[in-house]
């Protein structure tokens, strides 16, 4: 069954201290060519029937993302593209 | 007649007991409200306490906003019911769109727990009328996600309309824009504050008694308010 994937990211103008902390840790791995890291959230939604993108968008706008600080994108993926199908 | 002030308990609320105690010390009757019960049981005002409602899952306050009791509180607040959101309660008020902006992870990523000086910027709200404008108070701050953010237009509007209720003085503990510690809605009945006035109401446990003013303010407001 296809799923709807919602990606939620902090808006570009909102400081992402978690991303900064990760970026600051990279030199300890010997990585010196990363300019910035931003951390977001991926949500996978499975409907009982056909996936409903409009409904998913409504869920994202009302609950999954806070439009004051976050942007989101909604897309359909096949089951084998979802995270738990990958190893 | 003794004013009845509701204190909501969500799953994961932490400071509901202290908030109820502060209400009692201020001279009102605390009424415990339950997140799953939409009834407000005739209360004259409501406190949304600090804590970690619903485990802070998704975003702080994001799920509490949809609790049955919140639907009633949002309607009542729009009708003038005084509502004070403390810490997690402030986050819930922003998520419920009763207050503008949002509260995000502290800029330095550390949980910050200390006694904090605030300057009361607006003494015209239902929850701050016992203070003088410009008065400095000492109350505890303890948060991990207390960094207040909003776009520049919203911040300018808050400032222009006198809706910044309190600012951090002597060091900003979380990176909040313009040192904002508390804000109010246009009507002044809904106030969100990140530090914890309910922890500064007794000499035994608090750094001062300054927090009591928030709770005595609402009693003054209720006496003056038309029934």
Which ipTM value was assigned to this complex?
A: 0.82
**Mean per-residue pLDDT for A12-22?**
91
Cite the active site residues of B.
Answer: 87, 196, 198
- Asked if residue B49 lies in contact with residue B8, where contact means CB atoms within 8 angstroms, the answer is yes
Q: Which positions ≥6 away from B42 have C-beta within 8 Å? A: B4
**What percentage of chain B carries pLDDT values higher than 70?**
99
Q: What is the DSSP string of B185-198?
A: -TTSSEEEESS-GG
Other C-beta atoms closer than 10 Å to the C-beta of B22 total 30
Percent of chain B scoring above 90 in pLDDT = 96
B119 touches B134 (CB < 8 A): yes
Which residue of A13, A15, A69 is in closest CB contact with B107?
Answer: A15
Over residues A73-78, the mean pLDDT reads 94
Confidence of residue B227 (pLDDT cuts 50, 70, 90): very low
Give the pLDDT confidence of B79-108 residue by residue, as tens digits. Answer: 999 999 999 999 999 999 999 999 999 998
Phi then psi dihedrals of residue B188, to 5 deg: 80, 10
Place of tokens 């001279």: B27
Q: In whole angstroms, what is the distance from residue B151 CA to residue B149 CA?
A: 7
**In chain A, what are the domains?**
3-85 (3.30.1280.10)
Residues A51/A2, Cβ–Cβ less than 8 Å: yes
3-state secondary structure A9-74: EECCCCCCHHHHHHHHHHHHHCCCCCCCCCCCEEEEECCCCCCCHHHHHHHHHHHHCCCCCEEEEE
Tokens 């201290």 sit on residue: A17
**Span B129-134, average pLDDT:** 97
**Nearest-Cα residue of chain A relative to residue B63:** A63
Q: Is the pLDDT of residue A84 over 70?
A: no
Average pLDDT over chain B, rounded to an integer: 96
Q: Map out the domains of chain B with their CATH numbers.
A: 4-224 (3.40.50.880)
Q: Is A18 in contact with B105 (Cβ distance < 8 A)?
A: yes
Mean pLDDT confidence for B174-179: 96
Q: How many CA atoms lie within 13 Å of B74's alpha carbon, on the beta-carbon side?
A: 16
Q: Which residues of A touch B108 (CB under 8 A)?
A: 17
B66, B109, B149 ranked by CB distance to A69: nearest: B149
What are B204-214's pLDDT values in tens digits? 999 999 999 99
Backbone φ, ψ for residue B226 (5° rounding): -65, 140
Pairing of strands B45-48, B83-86: parallel
All residues of chain A having their beta carbon less than 8 Å from the beta carbon of residue B107 are 15, 17
């Amino acid at each position: 069954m296809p799923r709807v994937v919602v990606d939620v990211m902090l808006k570009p103008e909102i400081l992402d201290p978690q991303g900064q902390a990760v970026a600051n840790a990279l030199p300890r791995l010997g990585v010196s060519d990363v300019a910035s890291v931003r951390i977001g959230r991926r949500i996978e939604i499975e409907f009982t029937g056909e996936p409903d993108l409009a409904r998913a968008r409504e869920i994202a706008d009302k609950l999954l993302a806070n439009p004051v600080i976050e942007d989101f994108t909604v897309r359909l993926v096949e089951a084998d593209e979802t995270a738990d199908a990958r190893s | 007649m003794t004013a009845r002030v509701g204190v909501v308990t969500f799953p994961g609320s932490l400071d509901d007991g202290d908030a109820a105690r502060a209400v009692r010390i201020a001279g009102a009757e605390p009424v415990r409200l339950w997140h799953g019960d939409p009834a407000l049981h005739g209360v004259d005002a409501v406190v949304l306490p600090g804590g970690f409602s619903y485990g802070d899952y998704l975003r702080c306050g994001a799920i509490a906003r949809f609790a049955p009791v919140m639907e009633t509180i949002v309607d009542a607040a729009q009708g003038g019911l005084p509502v004070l959101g403390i810490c997690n309660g402030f986050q819930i008020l922003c998520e419920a769109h009763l207050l503008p902006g949002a509260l995000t992870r502290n800029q330095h990523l550390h949980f910050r727990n200390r006694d904090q000086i605030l300057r009361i910027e607006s003494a015209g709200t239902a929850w701050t009328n016992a203070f003088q404008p410009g008065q400095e108070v000492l109350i505890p701050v303890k948060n991990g996600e207390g960094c207040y953010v909003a776009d520049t237009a919203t911040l300018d509007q808050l400032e222009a309309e006198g809706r910044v209720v309190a600012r951090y003085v002597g060091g900003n503990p979380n990176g909040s824009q313009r040192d904002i510690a508390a804000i109010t809605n246009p009507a002044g009945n809904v106030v969100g504050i990140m530090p914890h006035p309910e922890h500064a109401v007794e000499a035994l446990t608090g750094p001062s008694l300054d927090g009591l003013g928030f709770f005595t303010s609402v009693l003054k407001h209720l006496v003056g308010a038309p029934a």
